[in-house]
Structure 1
Amino acid sequence: MLSSLLSCGVLASAIFASCAATVTTVSVDGTAAHSIPPLLFGQMFEASQYGDGGIYAELLQNRAFQQVKPNIIDALFGWAPINGASINVIADPIPLSGALPNSLELTIPSGSLGQVGFGNEGYWGINVNASWTYNASFYYRFPRASNFSGKLTVMLQSSIGVVYANASVPVSGSTTAWMQVMVHLTPTSSPVSTTNIFTVTVDGASAIGETINFAMFSLFPPTFKGRVNGLRMDIAQACFHLDSTQTLYDMKPSFFRFPGGNNLGQSFSTRWQWNATVGNLTDRPGRMGNWGYINTDGLGLLEYLYLCEDMEMEPIMAVWAGYSLDGASLPENDLAPYIQQAIDQINFVIGNPATSKPAALRASLGHPEPFHLQYVEIGNEDFLASESYMYRWKDFAEHLEATFPHLKFIATSHPFNHTLDPIPKQYDNHVYQTPGWFAENAFYYDSAERNGTYYFEGEYAVVSTNASDLFGKPFNGRLVYPNMQGSVGEAAFMTGLERNSDIVFAASYAPLLMNTANYQWSPNLIAFDASHVYPSTSFYTQQLFSLNRGTEYFPSTLPLENGTLYWSVTRDAPTNTVIIKIANTGVTAEEMLFELPFKSVHSTGNATVLSGSATANNSPETPNAVMPVISQIKTGKSFSYTAAAYSVNVLRVEAK
């Protein structure tokens, strides 16, 4: 005890005095080292019902019986009979379209009374809101002509039959060709519960013995920016826009990576094909996604592009490159048609309608002008098949670069891989790790060569606080929701991304969205259910960095590589605002002294702080447990600041 006190410079007679706290001094250089790249912080989708049942606003699950086997009970998931009706999914002898061969067959049994039909429970509930008008539609036909004349009643109701909205449409048994029904539903009240159903019924007594086939149901609430076939408002708002609801637009990301990493496909037959995701919804067959559920592909290539346009983001688009996550790679001699499909996909986005059929298709769908596109990713996580990627990268890159010399193509092998030809100028790097790993690797890119190669941190997240659980069975030690220990570790890593943003041009946390009722991966940036959105601690970390990135990076005293404090300093030149980001990964508060080189520094500034215990998180049970707090601080050319334990801090001060 005595020797430790003496080592702190404390006299033996003052044995009750505390050692002076260590102060970390940060001296900022007065000359900007480089500009902050405009795409530095963005987002990507992956897994956990992010599209169907997530940001895609369609409310009905299994709406068109896509990719299901007829005549089995499983084909009816999401649907249930009402009042003794007989329902079945059949391979319709006269299908609605070649893409949608199945229909729902409703038969009214003898002895039926009252309203008889079927209902859909939505994606684990339907949010009924009296301030909204819902657009409902479906197709129907009578497989055998009859003298029946009646009406179909379309309703939104509770699971116990309380009716919130209804509409009726006349139908005739003489209708053997497909007819579309479109109705508007405006609820009279807003139930708290989301255990509601969408129903279609007919008067049973008048329809006994009748059979009616149905196809391609749809139920849309109002969508983000009013887009037809658009996005769920609260999730889109959360992800991309700054307002009191804290949602996707709230983060103001600069880019969006799509169609999502592994969403490119589990196998050759189920790969994402752009041309099967555009045009009329009746022409989209859907596919089995690699996360265990069927994708309707209602959220298709054009919808992704509108998402980017509406959110004022730049797309980073991937093309399938001959490798599937089931471990198979196409032989080199078989690549030609897939390269052409990639060329067509890019032409759909940026081609000239006068010279390109895919571009002409885009124009016919209402967007004659090309979309903005700068980056194209060739494949996804091809470090898993590095041997075949050598020839696949070569063939795809050479053909795509020759066709689109103005675009930048991103390789998905391990970064710093010098075996690919042509040598990539951009790499995509993915890492899922522990809080400690991210803090320890805040200097990951510091030693990278400045040789014209640039890096995209396309996926990263803390997934566990225990390294042994990183790749074990899901949710066995894995985090379900991000917590402060993990979010601060990510923030430490992000200070390194910002410091090295002369070569790191973009970065996106992954995955973005998670339906709490059905998820295959955790944690995710934003959780949601049928009616609520739950931003995580990592969401707020991403938001703080995205909204406070500045335009130029200023060198400063470097953090200790094995310390607990990490920081970066930028300036927003148009507003003369110095922005200091601090991550304290330690268990105690840390004192810091900042020395700024500017001639004039305002005497006060703002501090936005996200802090909590190591395990603190935001969940449906505690949605606002940890949120940023803004306060005023004293500043100047030299000023002190205390960074709380497990905290992410953003300091803003005017300086010239």
Structure 2
Amino acid sequence: MKLQISNCKKAAVQDGMIGLFFEDINYAADGGLYAEMIENRSFSFVDCYGDVGDYYTKPAWGYGWNATKECGEGRMEYVTGSPISRVNPWYLRFTAQDAGQGFWNKAYDGIYLENGKTYTVRFYARAAQYPEGNITVQVTKDGRICAQAEVSCIHAPEKTWQKWNLYEAVLEAGETIRNGRFTISLTKPGTVEFDLISMMPDDAVAGVFRKDLFDLLKGLHPGFLRFPGGCIIEGNTLENRYRWKESVGDIKDRRTNFNRWAVHLTSEENGWHTQYSHYNQTLGIGFYEYFLLCELIGAKPLPVLNVGLACQFQSYELVEMDEPEFQEFLQDAVDLIEFANGPADSTWGSVRAKMGHPEPFGLTMVGIGNEQWQTEKIDFFGRYQAFEKAIHAKYPEIKLIGSAGPDITSERYDKAWEFYKKEVPARDNFCYAVDEHYYVKPDWFYAHTDFYDEYPRDVKVFSGEYASHPISGMNLPQANTLGGALAEAAFLTGVERNADVVVLASYAPLFARVGYAQWSPDMIWFDETKAYGTPSYFVQKLYGENMGTVTLAMDGQEKELRKEQVYANVSLDERTGDLILKVVNHNDCEKTIELDLGSFRAAGTAKNVILTGEGEDAYNCIEHPDSVKLSECESNAADGIVLPANSFVVTRIPTVR
């Protein structure tokens, strides 16, 4: 096989084209990227039930909490009356009959401590009937104390009202443990009320993000981050939808909400109730934290907004466009831009400034809806037009992302494109890009590397959610195979080749906690102790780091290579002079591509990064996180590119002309 390198420049590659999509699915936020270790810290969780069009919740204020029994069992009551915040009004009223009685938290799979590391515990408490004594905070394992601190309790004089006080303690781990028990106990008999109990590792990035997960994100060098979803934007009910205004400000004033994925795959057989029924959102990562995350990893923010519709797959609820309530959705969009970009003395810019960021975040893009589509009862196109008019009346510079619906094969998709093709040429800045989603088998990706070759060039595409699915289901790390990742890499050669059409692209979903995943495959898997990148992670990393600035003409060579099950594209980094070749070998044997550099002249050795493993079914897991990994080597361009069996190779050749 031979590849002739052309000197004809084709499509300019948008800077930051390869990005990330974050949705709070698979415990990606609470229990994941959000470094909080306590589960149901504000005694506000609910238990979720239901099916399409009929969802409901039951109070579960005490979920995850239990009384200790080593010194006898104290009394736990979940009450309201004098809350620290009316937004989450329930709190724990604990009564110890004897000294040493207390309560402990489930903390997902239990507390994980690393020897020598420190953790900060904060909680609100009110000594209701506790004239003396202190509060002990511990992490224990099999009865032994692994970390401990005693907090001096503030006592009110007799016959006076005791207010809520914020307490803080630092725990230092004396050993490394898993499945530890976080416990709070009273040193004397009495009654104390507790709320917003938090335990955070002191190495949490910005005091918010779990460090190993943050580092994996930053290591991808993403161009943008789409957030906060996904279906949770819409909610299974409109009451359940994601309201960005409830996610900013003091964490005690952020309303806990049930997660849309708590009722994934409910059925009559399981009583409309699954093992994830207590999956809730504390909003500890809210819109401020998402913007902050973008800044810290160097990604442009791309928030997505609800358009007055609950999830079209899961619900029939909507706000009609002629109802006064619809204006709330439009105003939320305009106010969000002010929150992100407005001066520190503006209404919503002042909220951002008070949270610690007086400078604007530099928002340039907003998504209008998630996977919305036009029906006889739902005028999504009219809703899009209403949002476009409201946003651009005040912020004409903001780029808007439209929706092509949940797939790329149905009538819904065709109708969407008819709408955008009609409106975009007629109205400047009407739609920056149309969001397309596809979760498909590997063979589809291989067969459609030319998918965007014939797309119109005047309407751009955001490849917003895509993933190869060799298999699908809950809790399947083995779904992230090398073969699936190679199919994605092959498809992306076509996406890159058509960079004048596809301006943004992101894999989905991003995170999955082992044992807590409603959806597989996913890019990054983790448990309480560690995290790892899947083969798909490495494909995204290689693309994110090696996009170049312009593609070079393939002149049909990609079609000839496809006959050999080899998929390739070539780009040029005009800043460095590097030729960048991306090549997938979908064969069980090694292949070599001979190179003709044409008018380019190699100015040094080629640098090759290779993704491969032991066959297409290879995958990474917690026990074996490096079964599929990257390797690097140098070579002489005159010797061509050696492609190991079932591999993805990125080659950078320094050149002069």
- TM-score (structure 2 length as normaliser): 0.87
Cα deviation, residue 563, structure 1: 4.9
The residue aligned with 1:45 is 22
Q: Which secondary structure does the structure 2 equivalent of 1:618 belong to?
A: coil
AA paired with 1:303? E
Q: Distance in 2 between matches of 1:169 and 1:120?
A: 21
The residue aligned with 2:274 is none
The residue aligned with 2:512 is 514
CA shift digits 1:559-583 (9 cap, x unpaired): 2256511111112222221111111
Query: 2:363 is matched with which residue: 364, 373, 380?
Result: 373
The residue aligned with 2:85 is 97
The residue aligned with 1:195 is 179
AA paired with 1:348? F
Cα deviation, residue 141, structure 1: 1.4
Q: Distance in 2 between matches of 1:234 and 1:160?
A: 29
Q: How does 1:281-300 map to 2 (within 5 A)?
A: 281-292=251-262, 293-300=279-286
Q: Which secondary structure does the structure 2 equivalent of 1:305 belong to?
A: helix
The residue aligned with 2:234 is 265
AA paired with 1:544? L
The residue aligned with 1:536 is 534
AA paired with 2:3? V
Q: Distance in 2 between matches of 1:279 and 1:140?
A: 21
AA paired with 2:581? I
Cα deviation, residue 399, structure 1: 1.2
Q: Which secondary structure does the structure 1 equivalent of 2:153 belong to?
A: strand
1:329 and 2:318 correspond = yes
Residue 61 of structure 2 contacts residue 78 of structure 2 at CA under 8 Å; is this kept in 1?
Answer: no
AA paired with 1:576? G
Q: Which secondary structure does the structure 2 equivalent of 1:349 belong to?
A: helix
Q: How does 1:220-259 map to 2 (within 5 A)?
A: 220-225=200-205, 227-228=206-207, 230-238=208-216, 248-259=217-228
CA shift digits 1:386-424 (9 cap, x unpaired): 842122111111111222100110101246612257443
AA paired with 1:573? E
- CA root-mean-square deviation: 2.3
Q: Which secondary structure does the structure 2 equivalent of 1:318 belong to?
A: strand
The residue aligned with 1:463 is 469
CA shift digits 1:348-381 (9 cap, x unpaired): 1112344x31122222222222111111100100
Residue 92 of structure 2 contacts residue 195 of structure 2 at CA under 8 Å; is this kept in 1?
Answer: yes
Q: Distance in 2 between matches of 1:599 and 1:202?
A: 75
AA paired with 1:177? K
1:217 and 2:197 correspond = yes
Cα deviation, residue 343, structure 1: 1.1
Cα deviation, residue 460, structure 1: 0.4
Pair 329,413 (structure 1): closer, same or farther in 2 beyond 3 Å? farther
Q: Distance in 1 between matches of 2:649 and 2:114?
A: 38
Q: Which secondary structure does the structure 1 equivalent of 2:144 belong to?
A: coil
CA shift digits 1:91-115 (9 cap, x unpaired): 3111111112011121223xx3x52
Q: Distance in 2 between matches of 1:652 and 1:324?
A: 47
Query: 2:250 is matched with which residue: 277, 280, 303?
Result: 280
1:121 and 2:106 correspond = yes
For these two proteins, the number of residue pairs brought into alignment is: 599
Q: Which secondary structure does the structure 1 equivalent of 2:334 belong to?
A: helix
Superposition misfits of 4+ residues, deviation over 4 angstroms: 384-387
Residue 286 of structure 1 contacts residue 295 of structure 1 at CA under 8 Å; is this kept in 2?
Answer: yes
Query: 2:351 is matched with which residue: 326, 342, 361?
Result: 361
Cα deviation, residue 258, structure 1: 0.7
The residue aligned with 1:546 is 544
AA paired with 1:186? E
The residue aligned with 1:18 is none
The residue aligned with 1:350 is 341
Cα deviation, residue 142, structure 1: 3.3
Cα deviation, residue 584, structure 1: 1.5
Residue 167 of structure 1 contacts residue 185 of structure 1 at CA under 8 Å; is this kept in 2?
Answer: no
Pair 74,338 (structure 1): closer, same or farther in 2 beyond 3 Å? closer
Q: How does 1:29-108 map to 2 (within 5 A)?
A: 29-46=6-23, 47-68=25-46, 74-83=60-69, 84-108=72-96
Q: Distance in 2 between matches of 1:86 and 1:579?
A: 66
The residue aligned with 1:580 is 581
AA paired with 1:258? F
The residue aligned with 1:645 is 645
CA shift digits 1:108-131 (9 cap, x unpaired): 23xx3x521011232323221233
CA shift digits 1:281-317 (9 cap, x unpaired): 1111121121111100010010011101111111111
The higher radius of gyration belongs to 1
Cα deviation, residue 648, structure 1: 0.7
Cα deviation, residue 224, structure 1: 4.5
Q: Distance in 2 between matches of 1:523 and 1:80?
A: 34
Residue 257 of structure 1 contacts residue 316 of structure 1 at CA under 8 Å; is this kept in 2?
Answer: yes
Residue 126 of structure 1 contacts residue 197 of structure 1 at CA under 8 Å; is this kept in 2?
Answer: yes
AA paired with 2:241? R
Task: Show structure 1 runs of 5+ residues with no match.
Answer: 1-23, 239-247
1:140 and 2:120 correspond = no
Cα deviation, residue 73, structure 1: 9.1
Q: Distance in 1 between matches of 2:178 and 2:374?
A: 42
Cα deviation, residue 479, structure 1: 6.6
Q: Distance in 2 between matches of 1:31 and 1:231?
A: 44
The residue aligned with 2:55 is none
